[in-house]
Structure 1
Amino acid sequence: MVKQERAARTREGLVHAAASQFDLDGYAGASLVRISKAAGISLGAVTFHFPSKAELAEAVESQGRAQVRATLSRMAVGSAPALEQLGELTLELARLIEQEDTVRAMVRLERERPGRAHWSEIWLPTADELLRRAYDSGELRASAQPEAMSTLVVHLIAGAEITLRRHRAAGTAPSEGAVDLLARIWQLVLTGISARRITPGP
């Protein structure tokens, strides 16, 4: 049992170290040697748990997806109006991008590894359902069709990730966090699409 717990801790540490490396250097730039140094364990121990970089990348993606699903589960119990729930969902996704290495790494790995499913497949069905409910209940203007709004939401989340990554690559600190910035953008959007005043907050 003790060996199993130690192995589980080692595996978890490897996934987090790999997530940080994949996030910073991408799939091609990261190496098992560099990941082993970041995790503080031997290369042999790395390959014992993950015989290839591809398997380690898949473990990182799986962990990132699990975090997104956990966020969706927590939010499923909300009773706020649909449009407000949509705003909260996007802010939570921005928070994950800003704070969780495994989520950022997952998003980058999906771009760099051909044939990978996009993480929007996890959360976009929920966003689409909230948009349909908001439209049917009159929370959205008639011109704010759910299909177009769905595309807008995808662009907002992608923009949050790209903006954060640009600052990280340049080594500069953003003037405000991803969540605060997205909340401000939502306020601007809502003045044009909402039939009533809604203020999503972090």
Structure 2
Amino acid sequence: MVKQERALRTREALIRAAAEAFDQEGFPVASLTKISSRAGVSSGALHFHFANKGALADAVEEAAAAVLQTITYEPVRSGASHLQHLIDVTHWLAQALRDDVVLRAGFALSGEATREPHTNLREYWRNWVEEHVRRSRTRGELCEGAAPGRVSSAVVAATVGFEVLGSRDAAWLSADTITEFWRLLLPSVAAQAVFAELTTGEPRRSGF
């Protein structure tokens, strides 16, 4: 049991060290030697857990996907519309990207040109947004001229853009940035009856 716990801690330390290296240096430049040193383990211990840098990147993506799923599985607040929930989740995602290097690295790996994504976080996010925009349309929360596909494209393009830019300038992931995006978008997509009830600021989330 003690050995298993130690092995799990070592694996988690390596994933975090890899995420930090990928986030700061980029996947192509980050070296396994630096990653093992950053994690405080030997190169032999690293290779015991991960055959190569690609396998380590896969593990970072998987860990990041677990964080993203926790965010997107958050239940809709009592009495809130699906459109409000979409606004809330974009705020929670931005907050997590600011604070969690594993999530940032996982998203960046999804767009890494030198490797095929193992767990494509950007694709997962696009699918989630599309589903919730469709639900908003079904519930009559979108105005007549707001095509769900166009609304989804606008939200995905903006949030992924903030994610990319935020990797070097955290202001792109600030609550103010997300709030202003929604203030610009909502008047052209939200049904009038729903619009009056929507809040664009960063919501509270217990345990986050």
Normalising to structure 2: TM-score of the pair? 0.85
Q: Output the aligned Cα RMSD.
A: 2.0
Equivalent residue, structure 2, for 1:74: 74
Q: Does 1:187 find its partner at 2:189?
A: no
Structure 1 residue 83 corresponds to structure 2 residue 79: no
Partner of 2:205: none
State how far apart, in whole Å, the 2-side matches of 1:103 and 1:118 are: 12
Structure 1: 5+ residue stretches without partners = 168-172
2:115 counterpart residue number: 114
For residues 75 and 178 of structure 1, the distance between their equivalents in structure 2, rounded to whole angstroms, comes to 23
TM-score normalised per structure 1: 0.88
Q: Alpha carbons of 1:131 and 1:39: their partners in 2 closer, same or farther (altered >3 Å)?
A: same
Deviation by residue 1:65-111 (Cα, 9 ceiling, x = unmatched): 11111222223676510110111121122222211111111121122
Task: Work out whether residues 69 and 122 of structure 1, in 8 Å CA contact, stay in contact via their aligned partners in 2.
Answer: no
Of Structure 1 and Structure 2, which has the larger fraction of its residues in helix? 1
Q: Tell me if structure 1 keeps the 8 A contact 2:151–2:189.
A: no
Q: Matches of residues 108-187 of structure 1 in structure 2 within 5 Å?
A: 108-112=108-112, 113-116=114-117, 118-167=120-169, 174=171, 177-187=173-183
Contact (CA 8 Å) 1:82, 1:130: kept in 2 or not?
A: yes
Separation (CA, whole Å) in 2 of partners of 1:108 and 1:70: 19
Deviation at 1:53, TM superposition (A): 0.8
| Number of positions where the alignment pairs a residue of Structure 1 with one of Structure 2 | 196
Q: Matched residues in 2 for 1:102 and 1:89: separation?
A: 18
Identity of aligned residues (%): 36
CA contact (8 A) 2:21 2:30 kept: yes
**CA contact 1:65–1:106 (8 Å) conserved in 2:** yes
The aligned runs of 1:24-39 (5 Å cut-off) are 24-39=24-39
